[in-house]
Amino acid sequence: MVGQGASDQEIAKTLNLAEGTVKTHVSAILQRLTLTNRVQAAILAYEAGLGNP
């Protein structure tokens, strides 16, 4: 969902999670992929065929 440009709030609502939980997971994803921001994650997802342009 990050790759599709969804905000933490949108992801939390869709998955019935607390926004803080989503932020924690997004931060962990960025760290593990050695990315510095969500835009980089979205680009990576798009290049991998997981996101929308």
Q: Identify how many contiguous H helices and E strands the chain contains and give both numbers.
A: 3, 0
- pLDDT at residue number 23: 96
- pLDDT at residue number 42: 87
For the chain, the residue count is 53
Domain at 2-47, CATH from 3.60.21.10, 3.40.50.970, 3.40.630.190, 1.10.10.10: 1.10.10.10
Q: Under a CB-based contact definition with an 8 Å cutoff, are residues 2 and 41 in contact? A: yes
- pLDDT at residue number 51: 66
Cβ burial, residue 35 (10 Å; 0-12/13-18/19+): middle
User: Where are the chain's structural domains?
Assistant: 2-47
Q: What's the helix, strand, coil split of the chain in %, to 5?
A: 65, 0, 35
3-53 per-position pLDDT tens digit: 888 999 999 999 999 999 999 999 999 999 999 999 999 889 889 888 666
